[in-house]
Amino acid sequence: MNKTLILSALVATMTLSTASLIAKEESPQISLDGLELVEKDSRGEIYADPMVDWSVYTRILLDPASVSFRRNWQRDQNRMQPFKIKTADMEKIKSDLSELFNEVFTSELTEKGGYELAVASDENVMRITPQIVDLDVYAPDTMTPGIQKSYTREAGRMTLKLEIYDSVTGDLLAAASDRREAPDRGYMQWTTSASNRADARRMLQHWAKDLRVRLDEAREISE
């Protein structure tokens, strides 16, 4: 075969392969549930149904937040100090974070967003289903006697996934994900359960405010 033709074929193959790889990495403009991509950045993305009239939703049904750690978190925490983190410790961290999520989001959406809390599905109720995944607490404080103090510049990171449904029909109205790290303090600080909780609260408050602001904007546009 002519060398020129061989080179051309090779370039074409490489171009197609690169294009295919880029296409796989890019988020689709339409999700599997028919939602349209609204926003995307390095931390996450937002999808929504453009036909939703958000002004009809005046109450919220907030599901308990499910929480899961990043892969091998317990193993890595126990690498230098075996049995430092037990399964019971992980369950307590997950339970505490789920309760804190409910407290922060309920406060933001009801007190500042003007939504009422619902206890069951109804015509004007949107159901919010949250998941916290890839939770990575850099220095968990189990308050176990004999455990050495830990010093860190930041508390950790986690990813929030939210799905919003019409509570009656079960139709998915919007879905979002966002990955965040606790702010880097710029200096080492003794990390305790209280400081970890404070940092987690600040991250949750950021997410709650962002959700409330976006819902306010959506309601104004619908009206």
* Domain assignment present for 70: yes
CATH classification of the domain holding 130? 3.40.50
The residue ranking higher by pLDDT, 1 or 214, is 214
pLDDT tens sequence across 82-101 = 888 999 999 999 999 999 99
Give the DSSP per-residue string, 158-195: EEEEEEEEETTT--EEEEEEEEEEPPP-SS-EEE-HHH
Confirm whether 7 is domain-assigned. Answer: no
- The answer as to whether 1 is a domain residue is no
The mean of the pLDDT values for the chain is: 84
Residue 192 pLDDT: 78
Instruction: Grade residue 81 by pLDDT with cuts at 50, 70 and 90.
Output: confident
Q: pTM score > 0.85 for this model?
A: no
pLDDT tens profile 152-189: 556 689 999 999 999 999 999 999 999 998 766 665 56
Task: Quote the domain boundaries for residue 101.
Answer: 31-222
Residue 109 included in any domain = yes
Residue 8 lies in a domain: no
Question: Domain for residue 184, yes or no?
Answer: yes
Angle between helices 87-107 and 193-222 (to 10 degrees): 40
| Sign of CA pseudo-dihedral 212, 218, 221, 223 | negative
Q: Determine the pLDDT at residue 29.
A: 80
pLDDT, tens digit, for every residue of 116-139?
Answer: 999 999 999 999 999 999 999 988
Residue 41 lies in a domain: yes
Domain total for the chain?
A: 1
The answer to whether residue 214 is domain-embedded is yes
Is 84 or 27 the better-scoring residue by pLDDT?
84
